[in-house]
Amino acid sequence: MYAYDMQNHATSISADPLLLTSCPGMTLMRRRKDKDVYDLGDMLLMVSTDRLSAAGRSLGQGVKGKGKIVNQLSAYWFRKLRHIFPNHFVSANTGCFPESIGNNAEILDGRSMLVWKTTPLPIRCVVRGYLAGAGWREYQERGEICGTRLPTGLVESQRLPSPIFSPTVKGRPEGVNENIDFGSLQLLLGKSLADQLRETSLRLYFTAWKRARERGVLIADTKFEFGLHDGKLMLIDECLTPDTSRFWGLDSYRYGGPVPSMDKQLLIDYLDTLDIPDNIPHLPDEMLCKIGEKYNEAYKRIVGKRAYLKMEVSCT
């Protein structure tokens, strides 16, 4: 595994992040906002680049080592949660990859995983354990989150009486997801599948929340994606990373206002201050450095300092 020491090498952090991959002899299936996906027949090779994304699109810049942290943290959670529900993860060890990767092992090492090919559902399954972000805004406006009524008088960042399942529909214009209530989800997918998605998402969240809390991290909210493999439901894509979750330090948690996070929220907040969604400017190196520090901190706390210290630091 590899990571980049953002704090000690701030001057070169944005020098050469991996923004695109080119793997001769392999079929590129698609480039997503921050991943390149290669088709290996009944499996896929998902490569986490260092690209940054926000507002449903790639920003054209990256943070060196970000992809490796996202990939390794996702692999960590897939392994830890596979007893709760099946997932598409096969291996993150390039030594176990098919021979077809050829001479691409060096670029793939640490930032790629082999997964089963599935048919993704058009839904993102968001679970909110605390009142923050879009959930906080919706509560202020309506007193509810995705159709779930909440008690009056709750404040920002307060832990909810129980986690809320709030699905969104993918593929809307400009990459914006549409929030829907559970009744609409049942109409879209059928009652049985909708019930399974809600139950599974809540079980995955609570199991991960307990484990992360033991490491001093609160998972305020996260999103899961699911797909069908031979007709069976599987957890897919990535799992509980700084790109898909809101991580708070238990030691700094105070409700009644915003809580500092260890994830992409810093980038989102920065872009919100610019108020120019259609013309995102070149991000300064200082911002890229701070984002990298957040990702490193999340990995170090959740996986553990011993594993973090074993990560090879690349300074070139």
20 and 68 share a domain?
yes
110 and 22 share a domain?
yes
107 and 137 share a domain?
no
84 and 178 share a domain?
no
φ/ψ (deg, to 5) at 105: -60, -40
pLDDT for 175 equals: 55
152 and 74 share a domain?
no
pLDDT for 273 equals: 82
Identify the residue whose tokens are 């901190």. Answer: 297
Query: Across the chain, where does the E strand assignment appear?
Result: 2-3, 27-31, 35-39, 43-48, 51-54, 57-62, 89-91, 112-116, 119-130, 144-145, 148-149, 159-169, 178-179, 217-229, 232-236, 245-249, 312-313
257 and 136 share a domain?
yes
pLDDT for 106 equals: 85
127 and 86 share a domain?
no
pLDDT for 311 equals: 47
Average pLDDT over residues 29-51: 95
Q: State the pLDDT confidence band at 304, using cuts at 50, 70 and 90.
A: confident
Contact 221, 193 (CB under 8 A): no
pLDDT top residue among 50 and 308: 50
Average pLDDT over residues 16-22: 92
Residue 248 lies in a domain: yes
- Tens digit of pLDDT for each residue in 108-121? 999 999 999 999 99
φ/ψ (deg, to 5) at 148: -95, 110
Judging by beta carbons within 10 Å of its beta carbon (0-12, 13-18, 19+), is residue 207 exposed, middle or buried?
middle
pLDDT for 71 equals: 97
pLDDT for 172 equals: 64
Pairing of strands 217-229, 119-130: antiparallel
- Tens digit of pLDDT for each residue in 74-100? 999 999 999 999 999 999 999 889 888
132 and 251 share a domain?
yes
State how many domains the chain has.
2
CATH code for the domain in which residue 295 is found: 3.30.200.20
pLDDT for 280 equals: 75
Instruction: Please provide the average confidence, as pLDDT, over all residues in the chain.
Output: 88
Residue 82 lies in a domain: yes
Structural domain for 144, as ranges:
120-266
**Rounded-to-integer distance, Cα 198 and Cα 125, Å:** 8
Q: State the pLDDT confidence band at 102, using cuts at 50, 70 and 90.
A: confident
9 and 142 share a domain?
no
Asked if residue 13 has pLDDT above 70, the reply is: no
Residue 272 lies in a domain: no
Residue 259 lies in a domain: yes
CATH code for the domain in which residue 195 is found: 3.30.470.20
Enter the pTM of the model. Answer: 0.90
Judging by beta carbons within 10 Å of its beta carbon (0-12, 13-18, 19+), is residue 278 exposed, middle or buried?
exposed
- Tens digit of pLDDT for each residue in 183-226? 999 999 999 999 999 999 999 999 999 999 999 999 999 999 99
Of 57, 64, 55, 14, which Cα lies nearest the Cα of 296? 64
Residue 297, both tokens: 């901190």
Residue 271 lies in a domain: no
pLDDT for 4 equals: 29
Contacts of 274 (CB under 8 A, 6+ apart): 280, 281
Residue 292 lies in a domain: yes
Residue 276 lies in a domain: no
Residue 274 lies in a domain: no
pLDDT for 31 equals: 94
236 and 306 share a domain?
no
150 and 251 share a domain?
yes
**Rounded-to-integer distance, Cα 122 and Cα 188, Å:** 10
133 and 69 share a domain?
no
- Tens digit of pLDDT for each residue in 248-299? 999 999 999 999 999 999 998 888 887 765 677 788 999 999 999 999 999 9
